[in-house]
Structure 1
Amino acid sequence: MEAEGSPKAGARGWQGGRGVSLDDLDELTIVARAQDGDLEAFNWLITAYQGGVYRLCLRMLNDRTEAEDIVQETFITAWRSLPNLTVPQAFIPWLYRTATNKCLDELRRRQRRPSDPIADLDAEELSMPSSGQAGGGAGLGRRDSVGGGAGLAVDPAQEVENRAQIRALADLLQSVQPGLRACWLLREVHGFSYGEIAAIVQLPESTVRGRIARAKRSLAEGMEPWR
């Protein structure tokens, strides 16, 4: 997705008729430019973070279409509200707070309507890298990514078992209470600190720690057969 419109000549980042590549700028500067209405800068932020936001929404909602809708709503809200962000360094937690709140609102509204079966989702969508592999914390410059390993030889039998385990964990995650699920995902998958998660979900850090611990216990018990 891209924000509608196009950068205007003479906007910040354009000097002497020559465009300054956004890839040469630090992300704090890009956020500041997006706050000033630079659509090119905002589209750069979309490209950088929509993948991580989508994976969070997919794991929260277990529905591809709903996740895509929430991602779009999140970035529309971000574009409209970005000028009101007083601390540009807080852009990433602020973005994830917006997405998390929209997911929780959707789960509250959700009634018994069909959703995509978890087994039909792509393995890459379901994969849950450890917090050391996934970016997306408050420090600008960290981006969400699915764990590496491309090009390495993988035993086919082990690959089948890994995929089955990923699906089992993703399915089990849906049984975890949404508030606990959000905190666990933000910590274990997206790599946020306890303090950052507290700011995202707007709860005391002690409550966040308790929620994550409860989610871990529930998931550990459910995954016991895989040990």
Structure 2
Amino acid sequence: MASELSDADLLSAHVTGDPDAFGLLFARHRDRLWAVALRTCGHPEVAADGLQEGVAAAFRRADSFRGEAAVTTWLHRIVVNACLDRLRAEKVRRAEPLPDDLDEAGRAPRATVGTELDPAEQELVAERRRQVLDALATLPAAQRAAVVLVDMEGYSVAEVAQILECAEGTVKSRCSRGRARLAVLLAPLLGDDDVTTPTRPSGNPPAPPDVGPMTSRGPPAGTATVD
């Protein structure tokens, strides 16, 4: 079955003319690509445009894939670059708070078996998410992309260097500057005793608290359409 094929096999099948292969490949990684686009752009409409442009570029340029990195790395590189291009082109500088329903615009939430937050805890989690996303939106686009990919999506520095097509030292520098800025903006949040942050080497500001996955609605309808 096509759904059991590897990412590389699906991409290869697309290149050789399979009309369904690319759609299956995109569906497999749609949620994570949307979450990265949304967190990088900081606004659903801009993220949707960036993701659409990135997916269209990947569709057209599939024959350029040489297997030097994982297909997911290649897809993220194209989508992130499309988002950064969109930010640069539109000179997006959001000063107003992100919309309250931003957390409903991405991935499905992870369910915790046997536990359910009460309304007060749900509101606290939602408020923390808004604070982190608002803070992310203040970072320069390149710093934001590095922090999102390393600290929020869990990619290694080496993988992010491939995605952003820069040196590993550049990724580390962008993350360091971005974390320092976020540490100031999120000082009250990071100071809470019940907030758990990833362990970082001594001397580095803590990474932003995980805002959790985005929710089930996903990217706007039509995002996967390519010409």
Say yes or no: does 1:86 pair with 2:66.
Answer: yes
SS in 1 for 2:99: helix
Please show how residues 5-154 of structure 1 align to structure 2 within 5 Å: 21-87=1-67, 89-111=69-91, 117-125=97-105, 146-149=109-112, 152-154=115-117
Unaligned runs of 5+ in 1: 1-20, 127-143
Q: Is the 8 A contact 1:58 1:64 kept in 2?
A: yes
Query: 8 Å contact 1:28–1:88 — kept in the other structure?
Result: no
Measured in 2, the distance between the counterparts of 1:161 and 1:55 equals: 21
Is structure 2 residue 136 aligned with structure 1 residue 173?
yes
Answer yes or no: is the 8 Å Cα contact 2:97–2:134 preserved in 1. no
Query: Could you list the per-position Cα deviations for residues 64-86 of structure 1 after superposition, in whole angstroms to 9, with x for gaps in the alignment?
Result: 12211221211111111001211
- CA deviations on 1:19-38 (whole Å, 9 max, x unpaired) are xx222323332222123221
1:196 partnered with 2:159: yes
State the identity %. Answer: 27
Structure 1 residues 188, 54: CA separation in 2 closer, same or farther (over 3 Å shift)? same
**Greater relative contact order (Cα 8 A, min sep 6): structure 1 or 2?**
2
The answer as to whether partners of 1:30 and 1:41 remain within 8 angstroms in 2 is yes
Question: Is the contact between residue 31 and residue 42 of structure 1 (CA under 8 Å) also seen in structure 2?
Answer: yes
TM-score relative to the length of structure 2: 0.74
Please give the secondary structure, in 1, of the residue aligned with 2:46: helix
Q: Name whichever of 115-124 and 196-205 sits farther off.
A: 115-124
When the two structures are superposed, what TM-score results if normalisation uses the length of structure 1? 0.74
Q: Quick one: distance in 2 between partners of 1:116 and 1:41?
A: 40
Moved over 4 A (4+): 111-117
Deviation digits for residues 40-91 of structure 1, max 9, x if unmatched?
Answer: 1111011112222222121122221221122121111111100121117532
Q: CA deviation at 1:115?
A: 9.5
Gaps of 5+ in 2: 193-227
Query: After alignment, is 50-59 or 194-203 more displaced?
Result: 50-59
Number of aligned positions between the proteins:
190
> What one-letter code is carried by the residue in structure 1 that aligns with 2:101?
L
**Counterpart for residue 11 of structure 1:** none
Secondary structure at 2:128 match in 1: helix
Report the structure number with the largest CA radius of gyration.
Answer: 1
CA 1:208–1:65: 2 relative to 1, 3 Å: same
Q: 1:126-169: CA deviations, max 9, x gaps?
A: 7xxxxxxxxxxxxxxxxx87544266311221111110010001
SS in 2 for 1:86: coil
Shift in Å at residue 184 of structure 1? 0.7
The alignment's C-alpha RMSD in Å is 2.5
